Amino acid sequence: MRITHISPEFQYTRVNGTLSMAEKKSFFGSKLINFDDALYIQNQNIIYYENASNEQINLNLEKLTPAIIYNADNDKQANSSLVINPAQSQSQIINNTSWILSINYGAVMYNYLFAKLKSYRTFEGVTNAMTYNNSVDAAIKDYIKTNLVSRYEFFKVELYLSYNDLATQGGLRYQNNWDPTIQLEKNYTNQFQTKTDSTNMKIDVVFNQSKNSLDNSFNYYYNLYFRKI
């Protein structure tokens, strides 16, 4: 009788490759997604379909349910805040007020990439049971964090401002509004400074009102640009 030296206590079990989202390079290349060379997050609506379990299995059936719509304008508004710059004199606050627009560009990029992968149906056929956390959505987010985020760098922010005369247009002083409709060349401004926190993927955009804040409020809007490293 020939001894095989194979212990009967162990056996090989096939597992799904989707249990790990980390892409690893090999001699013959890897299956890393070929994504865009640049990301321009402007006013896109990204539409996709999925079943009640957030899986993408059968497009024909999924189209019978309401579409999921990612709205970049809403996402950018939700991940930003506008406050009066505390590092200014009282005189400046009263007149040409300085403002800080704080943007969590990392969150916006994550959400945008997630919606893109869903719309491309990149993980079509993957069920929750085939993923590490029993969640396709969690697996996609893990894939983005592990493989895609490091491939992009923040490039620039575009800022748009449109002023409102309080006497003729109404409104309250220092009450400024998010407004995607002002994305016009006449409202574009490059009169601002930025402070970027690359570690936390956030940026502060610091700017002054060009029209006296005693008489004017403003509407604002911004776009984000990323480029592949």
3-state secondary structure of 182: helix
- Give per-residue pLDDT as tens, 47-77: 999 999 999 999 999 999 999 999 999 999 9
pLDDT at 27: 41
- Give per-residue pLDDT as tens, 127-143: 999 998 899 999 999 99
In a domain, 72, yes or no: yes
Q: Between vectors from CA 15 to CA 18 and to CA 34, what angle results, nearest 5°?
A: 25
In a domain, 111, yes or no: yes
Asked whether the predicted pLDDT for residue 25 surpasses 80, the reply is no
pLDDT averaged over every residue in the chain: 89
Residues in contact with 156: Cβ distance below 8 Å, sequence separation at least 6, in sequence order = 225
Stronger pLDDT, 1 or 205, i.e. the higher one: 205
Q: What is the domain count for the chain?
A: 1
Q: Which domain holds residue 212?
A: 34-228
In a domain, 158, yes or no: yes
Band of the pLDDT at 162, cuts 50, 70, 90?
Answer: very high
pLDDT at 132: 86
In a domain, 51, yes or no: yes
3-state secondary structure of 219: strand
pLDDT at 190: 96
- Residue 201 to residue 108: CA distance in whole angstroms: 10
pLDDT at 22: 54
In a domain, 7, yes or no: no
In a domain, 28, yes or no: no
pLDDT at 13: 46
Asked whether the predicted pLDDT for residue 219 surpasses 80, the reply is yes
pLDDT at 32: 58
pLDDT at 113: 96
- Residue 121 to residue 54: CA distance in whole angstroms: 12
Band of the pLDDT at 171, cuts 50, 70, 90?
Answer: confident
Nearest by Cα to 38 from 201, 223, 228: 228
Band of the pLDDT at 173, cuts 50, 70, 90?
Answer: confident
